[in-house]
C-alpha cells in the first residue's frame, strides 16, 4: 500500500495517533461516524426534524 506521507502526518496530528495502523484505524472510525451523522441528518430532513411536530405541540398544550 502506498500512503502519502504528508497526508499521514497531517492525519496523525488531527487524530493524535502515532502509527500508520492506528491512524488508518482512527480515520476509518471517523468515516463511519461521519456517515452515521449524515444518515441522521437526512432522516431529520425527511421527517421534519426531531421532537414533536407542530401538530403534536398543539395537542400537548391543550388543557
pLDDT digits (tens, 9 = 90+) for 4-61: 999 999 999 999 999 999 999 999 999 999 999 999 999 889 888 888 888 888 999 9
Please give the tally of structural domains in the chain: 1
Cα–Cα distance between 8 and 20 in angstroms, integer? 7
* pLDDT number for residue 41: 93
* pLDDT number for residue 33: 97
Answering whether pTM is above 0.85, one says no
Cα–Cα distance between 8 and 19 in angstroms, integer? 9
Judge whether 57 lies within some domain.
no
* pLDDT number for residue 51: 83
Judge whether 30 lies within some domain.
yes
Beta carbons of 20 and 3 less than 8 angstroms apart: yes
% of the chain with per-residue pLDDT over 70: 100
Contacts of residue 50, Cβ cutoff 8 Å, sequence gap at least 6: 44
- Take residue 63 and report the three cell numbers written for it: 388543557
What is the Cα 1 distance to its own chain's centre? 27
Judge whether 31 lies within some domain.
yes
Domain residues for 43? Answer: 5-47
Q: Where are the beta strands (DSSP E) in the chain?
A: none
Judge whether 61 lies within some domain.
no
Amino acid at each position: 500500500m502506498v500512503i502519502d506521507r504528508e497526508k499521514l502526518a497531517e492525519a496523525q496530528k488531527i487524530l493524535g495517533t502515532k502509527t500508520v495502523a492506528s491512524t488508518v484505524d482512527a480515520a476509518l472510525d471517523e468515516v463511519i461516524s461521519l456517515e452515521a451523522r449524515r444518515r441522521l441528518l437526512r432522516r431529520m430532513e425527511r421527517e421534519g426534524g426531531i421532537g414533536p411536530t407542530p401538530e403534536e405541540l398543539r395537542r400537548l398544550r391543550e388543557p
